[in-house]
Structure 1
Amino acid sequence: MRQGIAKFHASMCALVLVATPLSVWAQSTAKPAETKPSTSASAAPAEEVTDVTVFLKRKSSIPEQNMRIDTRSASSCGFIGSDGSSDYIADYIRETTGTYDINDPNNFSENSPLGDASRESGTTGFFDRQDRSTDESGSETGTGGCTDTDRRFAAGRATILRNDKSIYQAFDFFDQKKYPEALAMFKTAYNKIGYEDAAFYIARMYLEGLGTPKSPKDAIFWFRKVAEQPVNMRRPHPFDPKNPDYMETRAEATMTLAKIYLTGFGVPRDPKEALKWFEKAASIGFIPASKIVGDIYYYGNGVPKDLNKAYKNYSEAAKYGYAPAQYAVGQILEYGEGSVKADPNTALGWFREAAKAKHPGAMYKIAVAYDSGEGVAADPQKALVFYKEAAVGGNPDAQNAIGTYFYQGGLLPKDDVAARQWFEVAARNGQADAAFNLAVMHTKGEGGPKDLVKAYVWFMAARVHGHENATAALKSIQSQLTDAEKAEVAKLFAPKS
């Protein structure tokens, strides 16, 4: 049985947007859940806070921990950013979704914007305020920290955000395909609050021409508003190996910018600019971007080839459990390349890790290991299991292997029809051995009708993909063709006008 050795790495075209560069959007149009104050104590669960009357004044029904505001959101409280809105909203939402630390001295209550009585201690005073002023040059003086103005500002922003409905209205218009109204309302929402989702959808609508003429220039402007948010107060993009393609809004905006420049979608193609945005996406924690950066350096797509940078990026993504990167690391280590020395045992370990995520190439490598007894005890039955899994997953080498099992018989019953089918699947996926094997079966009439024209076509495909015996086979089959068959072959390979 022939066992083709899998070629190093899939091409970039298979990785980054060739067929559908910009039409796939991971963003859901689902609107954020809206929290409404409870109006009835009997209707609310025990853990919720209902409206109560205290000294003839209404007390907010929102739980106290959901109203705490991180002082970093105020302009004078160590905040770093362009206009403050996006970072503030990110922090505020984070505090209201369960990650708030009540013991953090930098947090204070919206209901007590000048301080938090719950943290009164020592000499800090009831409101824990910091005095600050400016000298004659305008430089800030004092002890630093948050001023009363900062606290009022943050509390006011929180109130505006909590009561704002513009983002909901924008999504309602979008879901109803009322795109001009949606675009206008997304802009209102962004100008009012600074929602990154609003900026993203504005960019998307300019890119696709929804409610406005297509304008890649305007799309890029709005995508950059999301992608260029400072990262100093943002948590890394969450990565789940079981759902590796998930992208939060900022990661998706960054990746879309990279794809725009990579494909030249409405702008001059610029691989270096694309690389910049892929690296940006990687830096914020979108792990698949590290694999793409590795591919760019490995193949020299718009930049000089650099195996060390490629291997570094592959390794970075691999350690987070991203199967394609684990497979890439294993491929380099299997035989060694450049300054990276061969380490077959470590390579097999990475293939095992990637195989856990059902990576077809990795499962094929494990199958070969059990088939040949390299690095593990030979086990033909286990090899067959992994060949099957890899073949179903789309690996051409494994598909050819399954065809060979059916053709030879043994662990699988001999079945020429099934063999021919698997060889054709693999051959259409570019597997040279499978193309050659399929041609042989057409020549002999095995598993189906004898067809020398198809045999010639598949021998030609095998030669294109580098099969060493294809040229000799073509000469042999050509001598067997009738004049009519030669005419049909000539027609098939005639230049297209």
Structure 2
Amino acid sequence: MSQAVRPNFKLSRTAFSVLAVCTTLLALPSHAQQTAAGAPAPTPAAQANLLEAVKVTGKRDRTADPSAIIAAKSKVLSRNYASSCGFMSGYVPEEDEATLAYLRHFGSLDTDLDDLSPDGSAKTPSSAESTDIAPGIPTSPSVACAGSDIRFAAGRNWIARKDKSLQQAFDAYAAGNYVEARTRFEEGWKKLGYEEAAMMLGRLHLLGLGTPASTPKAVEWLNEVIEARYNPVNDRLRYDPKTPDQINTRIEATLLLARVYLSGEGTQRNPQEALRLWRKALDFGFEPANTLIGQAYVSGVGTAADGRKAIEALTASAAAGHVPAMLLLGQLYQQRVPKQPPGIPLDLEKAGAYYGAAARAGNVEATYAAARMLDLGEGTARAPEQALALYKEAAVKGHAEAQNALATFFYQGDVVPQNYTTARQLFQAAARGRQPDAMFNLAVMLAQGQGGEKDMAAAYAWCALAKSQGHEQAAVALPAIAVKLSPDDKARADAMLKPAPKKS
């Protein structure tokens, strides 16, 4: 974990008389020695699941949303999807007469649904040609089409408007009746080829809901969605950076399948295939896929590490408004990424610009990073007042590094009035967030009784925790604190470090 960031801040020798034996080593950490803010680019271990960077499910509701059902029906009836001749679109009054004429041709409006289209299914048109067209059905639509196309489109139109399988499937899914949901999703797929049905069937098979878990079957269903007929003009997602997790069914299936191949859940791990699917998701309009592609080039997942290609993908994603790409670009240009890929020069000006853009979009990690650069004067003149404001913004959101940095301002009192009570509260908040410098800083204040009562037991406990996190100064200070503990202090410290197990 990275350390604090406030430069050259030390506890005075006089103030820390309790630990006089090692006062020269008991300085609060120098901010100038610290790493960049925020979550660094994923380490090789973290790269085992890159898809965590983008939510696979997005914000799609799994309940029976009426608007979602209407949208699904409209899609299967659209001129770009329903048939090769594009005869039928969604319901419009002008087409009612043609539909009714088609139904009259069969002699009844009460005919079983599966008999109203070729081969008893509206999902796939018949290959057989027919010239027996009912009176009133146009034979020369805007694009050339045969009689079977018209019969197929009219049948699909009738079935889709009457069909309730998708609604029933989502109702059953929401109620936890997964067997019924699977049956109804299969019915919807067989009748009309709803992509939503195939997507959910893939999910059910992957998770073993209502059916034995089977990754191969899940892959088959997900591929049905991914490889379905696609119109890049009408079907491509219109990405909105204000709702970055919003996705459609095709993109959801693509990201979910990529996750399967990346993690090897029930199948052979295949990062190359995951990378191919991310590119496909990008083609489908999901701009954050470029962030995943960029991360792959940073860490060499599914491809060789390549800084130039990483920057290219991430820059495109950032230009589209994806905030995580902005943050990662800042880290790369600041060269703060572990195992930095080759081909990315140090550019503090660009780093600051990307951090600033991400901070303005509300990203807490970027807010802290921008504060740190202003605090240390990296790529810009030092501006501690501006840094203080940004540290406060990130600290309020619970950022432990920012809380620790902000605490040092109040401890030192060089930009704001000195306030030990506030400093101690902030160090404690950061320490609870497992920030090792804050643990040590809090231990110092507790041992000295600054900003509150002296508490040697708590001082020892926090110093021990800081040591366990690899804090070198804590390792030196711990023995000096230990010799000052009373038997009661030692018992309390042990209880803090090894709490009794909870009673069942």
Give TM-score, length-normalised by structure 1. 0.69
CA distance in 2, matches of 1:178, 1:422: 49
Tell me if 1:329 matches 2:329: yes
Q: 1:29, CA displacement in angstroms?
A: 1.6
2:75–2:81: 8 Å Cα contact kept in structure 1? no
CA distance in 1, matches of 2:453, 2:328: 41
Corresponding residue SS for 2:35 = coil
Counterpart of 2:287, as a letter, is I
2:407–2:422: 8 Å Cα contact kept in structure 1? yes
Tell me if 1:402 matches 2:412: no
Corresponding residue SS for 1:70 = coil
Counterpart of 1:360, as a letter, is V
Listed as ranges, the matches of 1:200-219 within 5 Å are: 200-219=199-218
Counterpart of 1:9, as a letter, is P
Q: Deviations over 1:110-153 (max 9, x none)?
A: 86699xxxxxxxxxxx97569xxxxxxxxxxxxx9544543443
CA distance in 1, matches of 2:457, 2:299: 37
Q: Deviations over 1:359-400 (max 9, x none)?
A: 112212332344455555655443322111112334332121
Counterpart of 1:212, as a letter, is T
- Alignment partner, residue 35 of structure 2: 5
Q: 20-29 or 423-432: which moved more?
A: 20-29
Cα distance change of structure 1 residues 191 and 332 upon mapping to structure 2, 3 Å threshold: same
- Alignment partner, residue 360 of structure 1: 364
Tell me if 1:418 matches 2:449: no
- Alignment partner, residue 165 of structure 1: 164
Counterpart of 2:40, as a letter, is H
CA distance in 2, matches of 1:69, 1:458: 64
Corresponding residue SS for 1:287 = coil
CA distance in 2, matches of 1:421, 1:461: 18
Q: 16-25 or 467-476: which moved more?
A: 16-25
- Alignment partner, residue 306 of structure 2: 306
Q: 1:194, CA displacement in angstroms?
A: 0.7
Listed as ranges, the matches of 1:118-197 within 5 Å are: 145-197=144-196
Corresponding residue SS for 2:242 = coil
CA distance in 2, matches of 1:200, 1:409: 58
Instruction: Pick one of 390, 394, 405 that aligns with 2:394.
Output: 390
Corresponding residue SS for 2:334 = helix
1:199–1:225: 8 Å Cα contact kept in structure 2? yes
Tell me if 1:443 matches 2:447: yes
- Alignment partner, residue 280 of structure 1: 280
- Alignment partner, residue 56 of structure 1: none
Corresponding residue SS for 2:149 = helix
Structure 2, unpaired ranges of 5+? 1-5, 8-30, 102-137, 499-504
Q: 1:333, CA displacement in angstroms?
A: 1.8
Q: Deviations over 1:40-87 (max 9, x none)?
A: xxxxxxxxxxxxxxxxxxxxxxxxx99996367534x5xxxxxxxxxx
Tell me if 1:250 matches 2:250: yes
Cα distance change of structure 1 residues 313 and 429 upon mapping to structure 2, 3 Å threshold: farther
CA distance in 2, matches of 1:219, 1:437: 52
- Alignment partner, residue 241 of structure 1: 241
Counterpart of 2:307, as a letter, is L
1:239–1:287: 8 Å Cα contact kept in structure 2? yes
Q: 446-455 or 153-162: which moved more?
A: 446-455
- Alignment partner, residue 10 of structure 2: none
Cα distance change of structure 1 residues 290 and 305 upon mapping to structure 2, 3 Å threshold: same
Q: Deviations over 1:164-210 (max 9, x none)?
A: 22222222333344332222111101110011111122223333443
CA distance in 2, matches of 1:311, 1:35: 40
- Alignment partner, residue 74 of structure 1: 83
Q: 160-169 or 323-332: which moved more?
A: 160-169
CA distance in 2, matches of 1:375, 1:20: 30
- Alignment partner, residue 350 of structure 1: 354
Cα distance change of structure 1 residues 489 and 169 upon mapping to structure 2, 3 Å threshold: closer
Q: 1:315, CA displacement in angstroms?
A: 1.6
Cα distance change of structure 1 residues 339 and 443 upon mapping to structure 2, 3 Å threshold: same
Counterpart of 2:397, as a letter, is G
Q: CA RMSD in A?
A: 4.5
Q: Deviations over 1:3-27 (max 9, x none)?
A: 3432572437498577999898743
Counterpart of 2:35, as a letter, is I
Q: 484-493 or 422-431: which moved more?
A: 484-493
Aligned length in residues? 419
CA distance in 1, matches of 2:474, 2:447: 13
Give TM-score, length-normalised by structure 2. 0.68
Greater relative CO (CA pairs within 8 A, separation 6+):
2
Q: 1:314, CA displacement in angstroms?
A: 1.7
Q: 1:318, CA displacement in angstroms?
A: 0.8
Structure 1, unpaired ranges of 5+? 37-64, 78-87, 97-107, 115-125, 131-143
Counterpart of 2:348, as a letter, is P
- Alignment partner, residue 60 of structure 1: none
Corresponding residue SS for 1:441 = helix
Q: 1:407, CA displacement in angstroms?
A: 2.3
CA distance in 2, matches of 1:322, 1:21: 13
The structure with more helix, counted as a fraction of residues: 2
1:110–1:155: 8 Å Cα contact kept in structure 2? no
Q: 404-413 or 455-464: which moved more?
A: 455-464
Counterpart of 2:316, as a letter, is E
CA distance in 1, matches of 2:303, 2:464: 34
CA distance in 2, matches of 1:420, 1:184: 60
CA distance in 2, matches of 1:362, 1:274: 28
